[in-house]
Structure 1
Amino acid sequence: RACLFQLERDRAVADLETSELKWSELHDAVVREIQSTHAAMTAVRAEHRAMAEALRDARTHSATGMTLEELAKALEEANAANTASEVALQRAKRNLETEHRKGIEAAAKL
């Protein structure tokens, strides 16, 4: 019996270590995704600011070489990309929180 208990205990420890490793890898992947999304969102915001400035400066269409309609469309596209980036960032954060909670729950069961 003691030998069986020891085997079960060793297996549980190995499972926990594997689970921790998988959780750690998943955590790292989600963090990388969040960082990547944040960087993309920062770039989109910069582009959005540039387009907004260009739109303000577009009192004379020839100054930018773009028509007011082209500037408005580019601003709309930048806004849409910014919104999509923010949604992706929030999704990544929720996924990270969920996986973290699952890891804590799994560790508590052992």
Structure 2
Amino acid sequence: MLLKKYACLLGAGVYCTGLFGLITNKRSLLLLLVFLEMALLGIVLMLCGASLLRVNPFGQLYALMVLVAAASESAIGLSLVILWFRTSEGSSLSKASRTRG
């Protein structure tokens, strides 16, 4: 019962923390990916909480789709960051703004 009431509130807190990290991060691409995943996890928690409150399984299905999209985005993004780190000896965002192509 308590989980049903506070799942949406917890999801909103996790989402806001991830969004704050996305806005304030100026250095690391890897941290940028971590905060993006954190924001998506907050969205998943809110979808599951709303699904439990309304006793409707469609919110959980949407949450599963968001998790699949987040996993594929994370795998592609992490592989690009690793490839860029190997070629440029660093993963700083200040170097990424000078990259063209």
Under a length normalisation based on structure 2, what TM-score does the superposition of the two structures give? Answer: 0.46
Give the number of the structure whose alpha-carbon radius of gyration is greater: 1
* More helix by percentage: 1
Ranked by relative contact order (alpha carbons within 8 Å, sequence separation 6 or more), the top structure is 1
Under a length normalisation based on structure 1, what TM-score does the superposition of the two structures give? Answer: 0.43
